[in-house]
Amino acid sequence: MVSNMEEKNMVHGEHVHDGAEKAPEKHTHKEHAGHEEHGMEHEIHEGHEMATHGEHEGHEGHKHSHAEHHRMMMEDFKKRFIVSAILTVPILILSPLIQNFLGFTFTFRGDQYVLFALSSVVYFYGGWPFLTGMRDELKKKLPGMMTLIALAITVAFFYSVAVTFGLPGKTFYWELATLIDIMLLGHYIEMRSVLGASRALEELIKLMPTEAHLVTPDGIRDVPVSELKKGDIVLVKPGEKIPSDGIIVEGETSINESMLTGESKPVYKKPGDEVIGGSINLEGAIKVRIEKTGKDTYLMQVVELVRQAQETRSRTQDLANRAAFYLTLIAITAGTITLGTWLYLGKPFVFALERMVTVMVITCPHALGLAVPLVVSVSTSISAKKGILIRNREAFERAKDVQVVVFDKTGTLTEGKFEVTEVIALDQLGEEEILKYAAALESHSNHPIAQGIVEKAKELGLEPYEVSESKVLPGKGVQGVINGKEVLVVSPGFLKENGLWREDERVNRVLEQGKTVVFLVLDGKLVGALALADRIRPESREAIEKLHEMGIKAYMLTGDNAKVAKWVAEELGLDGFFAEVLPHQKSEKVKELQEQGYTVAMVGDGINDAPALIQADVGIAIGAGTDVAIESADIILVKNDPRDVITGIILAKATYKKMIENLAWATGYNTFAIPLAAGVLYNYGILLSPAAGALLMSLSTVIVAINAKFLKV
């Protein structure tokens, strides 16, 4: 457990904090991105426990993930659709209504029994997911789309079977087959659009190295990370990942923890400092005493946090399911009233039954099954061309109401790269000369600060000097010889330790802004300073301005210190910011805003953002970020451009609007079709036949398909 967060302006690995070891908290906001509302999934998920990766000491033996279940179910829908669609072709050819409509005749002895046999296969094989889904929905007293579909196909099938074997009337076989085909296709499209939402845990695991250099009395021995135990000493070379949480016992270095903590600067570490498993050793070789393994490590606690947040999402029904619930009630009520009314009026049972069946089949339009999936499919295609990938259709409904967008700082609003913002001359040496000396000394370093200095010199077209005898001073800077002079590029701490520090108003100002400042020393004399800051993306300003124009507030979350956060917030005109936030606290900050009544979108790119992305009403990941952030998000910005957040929200609003339009087209005709099918105008000679009802169903399907294509952003 880490007790303090330290804030020091130190070059080459400013020690921002010693780690983060707190018990994860449970978050219960968003529903599982999977297809939870459908009965088939309820049946499969019931009793299923997702593998808790934190319980594994290594990487072996993970249980099947939810993603595997969704993939299996998606393939099952696909297979059932293909088989049913193939069988539908002869069903259509043998159907009298289709023959009359197309003007041809194709009959043979026993053709009605062939039609019955083919339709039976489609009903029982293609309709099985809906029949079992109805069973599970009724068990939970939550009738929805599955119940509506199952009710319509069951009534149509058994009525048609009765007609085939002697009951006067007309069969509904072709309507039954095409309804099942379209519903299977709709569910396949729908499930394919959400597949992958549960892969975040697997991506987190990939961060951990698989082997470690164990220090033994007989020398260094490579062992699997799963074999490490508390108290073991491991060697970590420059460029390697820390195998598990521990404490440095020998050596100094800078550690890149940005993928885990969100801290943009490498963190200087010395003996006695804690290190986090999965972070990257940048500079010197170090020896680490292992303190935590398996589920107790920091990374595995984040894994557990993500898992809990995913598994405790609330289950809100989607628009089509809500429509299906009401249509189910309408179908049962209207069908029963129709049957009872005609029997009461003295009509033959066969007539009353046909009216009831017509009403119940018409109540479940083909279009309803495609209304939402078609819009999702078109919207996904449009967004992909704009560099926006939408993975969770529920995000559409939520995103239209977004009131606050919370941005991660590093890699999202900023580029995660250091840029020289000021060169301060503290002696007679000019600014360009200061930059040339500093760039020359830093030219062979891979350190982010060094790269920022070199990049600035290149940008100004400056030729750096030749360097000799250069060496790294871990956590303090670098030194070398240029033109016969001893040159140092060092931290404020180094100056103070060696009595070279002197007060300067310009230096104090940039330090107050939270910028990183390095100093140039020539032959023991302080001659200049360079201020660096994480470069703000040029697109970020425009993105914030457009959000404000839309009446949406913009906040920032960062692990950086308050000075840095304040500077970025003021530069961009943000409505507020949260600084010095550890990963497990990010989701808490999002939750705080939600508890104030806001609908919140979270934009991030790192592992540390994953719990917050899931906690938010809409999680938006920068595509160039880590895989785990992408897998935890509803929307992915491929182009790494914050302005695409606005495009995503606009797309969500347009998509929701188009869904409403499609649902209106898909269900709206019921307002007049159901009364006509029931025979309200029978005394006026107007009676909607099953054939006419089927034609209306087909027409609404065509309208829904065309309307979806008109989605524009």
Residue of 76, 181, 408, 634 marked catalytic: 408
Rounded Cα gap, residues 89 and 149, in angstroms:
21
Largest alpha-carbon pair distance within the chain? 115
Closest CA to 119 of 84, 147, 80, 159: 84
Task: Answer yes or no: are the C-beta atoms of 306 and 633 closer than 8 Å.
Answer: no
Query: Which one-letter DSSP state was computed for residue 388?
Result: E
Beta strands 246-250; 253-256: pairing state: unpaired
Task: Give the separation between CA 427 and CA 337, rounded to whole angstroms.
Answer: 96
Q: Which residues contact 447 (CB under 8 A, 6 or more apart)?
A: 12, 254, 266, 282, 283
* Rounded distance between C-alpha atoms, residue 630 and residue 411, angstroms: 14
- Which residue from 349, 294, 382, 360 is spatially nearest to 54, judged by alpha carbons? 294
CA torsion angle for 641, 647, 649, 655 (degrees, to 10)? Answer: -140
Distances (CA, A) of 437 to 75, 126, 451: 62, 74, 14
Residue 184 and residue 77 in contact, taking contact as beta carbons nearer than 8 Å: yes
253-256/280-281 β-pairing: antiparallel
Tokens encoding 354: 């046909």
Whether residue 318 lies in the annotated active site: no
Residues 358, 677: Cα–Cα separation, whole Å: 6
Beta bridge partners of 275: 246
Cα separation, 628 vs 640, in Å, equals 16
Phi, psi angle pair for 696, to nearest 5°: -65, -40
CB contact at 8 A, 285 and 5 = no
Judge contact between 704 and 367, C-beta under 8 A: yes
β 553-557/404-408 pair status: parallel
Active site residues: 408
